Chains A and B, each alone.
With several copies, the nearest count.
Chain A
Amino acid sequence: MDLTRYSKVIVQGITEKISTQIALAMKSFGTNVVAGISPGEGGKQWHGIPVFSLVEQAVAKVGVIDVSVIVMPAYQVLDAALEAIASGLKQIVIITEGVPPLDMVKLLRKAEATETLIVGPNCAGIIVPDQFLLGTHPTRFYTPGPIGIISRSNTLTYEVAWELTKSRLGQSVSVSLGCDPIVGSSFIQWLQILDEDDDTELIVLVGEVGGVSEEVAASYISETIDKPVIAYIAGTYAPINKNYSYASYVINAIVGRKTESKIAAFEEVNIPVAKRPSDIPSLVRNSLEK
């Protein structure tokens, strides 16, 4: 992960009410928010943050920018992200919910070609406790420590973080990848990032039964991840209709994915699976003591 508390961060869409709240929360947590972007409002100061009309103007003023946090209306997210990429940014966190999936496909083709990391959309983003926040994690649930969290949920991530924090198991990084069907970076990308992260000793992976990428992650972990991993999959008892749309029925039929086998997939490769959030701290301690 190419991010530190000194990484330069911009917020695209800063002058909307929600975006401003997010930017200020990030800043007050210590994140180095160097600029906000809002076309037509360039030149202003917004709660102490300089505003530019274009990303390239911000780059011209403050130099290379490391991350953009995008909080734009859903149909403007693709353009905002492409603008950030065209201005040389290599890491983008999209908070906005409701980005059309085919906009994400376009964005991901470009992101892959330019080696840009996309987190989200519809995500709480990245938090490194006591260091910086890129997104909307409520900071009070976190405390620094050696546990990395990777999750497809937002609020459930907070629950897991809070269980760890209550048990005095601090976190190195917590990343919420986004709750939408098509998200920018996958479990696998982040398993790799946290496997290489010096501050992370153990990874907690929080999945959902409705999701589709967890079992892919299970085999990946067994093959390439050296650090211990604990999995927690919500919805294993809940009677959830996994194929609620015809489109997902077709997809599952053609690619032969079985959502039922998720927990088995982890257990097969000896990854401990928590039954509930409050199980996680003891599983973590067991793994760390080994």
Chain B
Amino acid sequence: MDLLEYQAKALFSEMGIPVLPSQKIDYPKDLKRLKIPYPIVLKSQVHTEERNSLGGIKFVENTIDAVAAAQTIFNLPIKDKYPVVLLAEAKYNADQELYLAVVLDPIVRRPLIIASKQGGIDTKTAMKSMQKVVVDQEFSPFYARRLMVKIGLEGKLIESVSYIVEKMYQLFLEKDLDLIEINPLGISPKGEVMALDGKVSVNNYALGRHPDLGSIAGKNISNNYAIKQKELKEIDHSSLSVMSNINVASSETLISDYRLKFTELQGNIGILCNGEGLTMATVDMVIQAQGKPANFLNIKLGDYLELKDRYQMFAALDLITQKENVKVVLINVIGIVETSDELITIVYEYLNKFKSIYQARIRFVFRLLGGKISKARERLLGLPVEVIENLEDAVSKAVSLSE
């Protein structure tokens, strides 16, 4: 879960990382009550890299220009996203700009602290001269000093920038972050440091123990995934209406979950599997058999993971079947024994209730391995679904039905 710049900077400030005086702008008229002296910079609060090159950042010298610029930025979509908030910030006279970040390396399974002397707007340039230090044991400030020496800092800057890295690491730990980045860290001619822009990504697994971040997350999701949510609401009305039963909190997880695992494509076969590896394997096999996936979705179903939310399964089936282009749906579920009865019932109910809508348009292939396949066949008899145990056969069937 990514924080917006102004949210990241609020965390920086709490932690003692210096940030410029700034003010959150919800409406252009807020600029009339600005407490920061001009000139200021107005920044679109969106989650993308190319905010500056796409016109999301403007320097202004007075209120009239500021209001006009704010109106422009509010109406400027950046990679399809409109900002809900702008940040008005004092200008800073930086002599030098550094890139600093803390991120977790899944291979060495340790946090890395990374830095570059080529900080600034272009992350790619920064990456080229990047140096890293693996935080092998518990963090201590010497790791930061090692990094500073590696990028060639000298004199008092070694300790003053190390201090910023130390604070970044502390935030990284305390808030269970996936990433914290300051780019650029401005250094004034006098050697003072200032976090001019920043990114914070919070780990989704850990959100539950950071209620403060959880509430920010809720806000961002409702802002930034507005389009996604709108789509989901449309499904509600046109078909199952299950989404309306899900309160805001759980629909967030659901959506952010789908955002990771649900992928839409141009074909006509919808694919729903339990397990990410199995999903990828199934999609591969459909493509190898000249089939064209319309989408694919990984939903967690296992022998010991309770099928705790029937609604979630209904919503998943809905997501898969929703689009006009879907002709066939391939469900590939493996290794559920205890819960297979329940799954069969769900599929039964789903197909039964909406037979009238889907019968004409969509055919189902239900691959079930390790569950009660004969029971499935019996139960689903007469519904537009083929129950198959062998994966190759199921894929062939789905592809031939889609042609």
From A55, A153, A180, A238, contact of B296 by CB (8 A): A238
- B370 to A140, Cβ gap below 8 A? yes
From B155, B278, B283, contact of A153 by CB (8 A): B278
Residue of A nearest to B276 (CB): A179
- A158 to B107, Cβ gap below 8 A? no
Residue of B nearest to A108 (CB): B109
A-side contacts of B49, CB under 8 Å: 246
B-side contacts of A158, CB under 8 Å: 334-335, 369-370
Task: State whether A101 and B104 are in contact (beta carbons under 8 Å apart), knowing that A54-B146, A244-B260, A253-B127 are contacts in the complex.
Answer: yes
Chain B window 177-212, contacts with chain A (Cβ cutoff 8 Å), 1 for yes, 0 for no: 011010000000000000000010101011011000
User: Is B114 on the interface with A (CB-CB < 8 A)?
Assistant: yes
Task: State whether A159 and B369 are in contact (beta carbons under 8 Å apart), knowing that A18-B305, A39-B158, A250-B181 are contacts in the complex.
Answer: yes
- B283 to A237, Cβ gap below 8 A? yes
What CA separation (Å) do A235 and B156 show in the bound complex?
A: 47
A62 to chain B, nearest CB (A): 17
What is the interface residue range for chain B against chain A?
35 or more
Task: State whether A53 and B334 are in contact (beta carbons under 8 Å apart), knowing that A74-B205, A251-B103 are contacts in the complex.
Answer: no
Interface residues of B in 125-183 (CB under 8 A from A): 127, 130, 132, 136-138, 140-142, 145-146, 149, 154-159, 162, 172-173, 176, 178-179, 181
Chain A window 226-247, contacts with chain B (Cβ cutoff 8 Å), 1 for yes, 0 for no: 0000000011111111001111
- B281 to A101, Cβ gap below 8 A? no
Residue of B nearest to A152 (CB): B277
- A40 to B335, Cβ gap below 8 A? no
B-side contacts of A55, CB under 8 Å: 142
Stretch from B4-12, B238-246, B284-292 that touches the partner: B284-292
- 24 A-B pairs with CB atoms under 8 Å apart are A21-B338, A53-B145, A54-B142, A74-B205, A100-B209, A102-B206, A136-B304, A138-B303, A141-B370, A154-B335, A155-B335, A158-B370, A159-B278, A159-B334, A179-B277, A210-B276, A212-B106, A234-B280, A235-B277, A237-B288, A239-B265, A245-B179, A253-B127, A278-B391
Query: A155-B273, A155-B277, A255-B132 provided; 8 other pairs, C-beta below 8 A?
Result: A21-B303, A53-B158, A79-B140, A136-B304, A154-B275, A208-B277, A234-B277, A255-B107
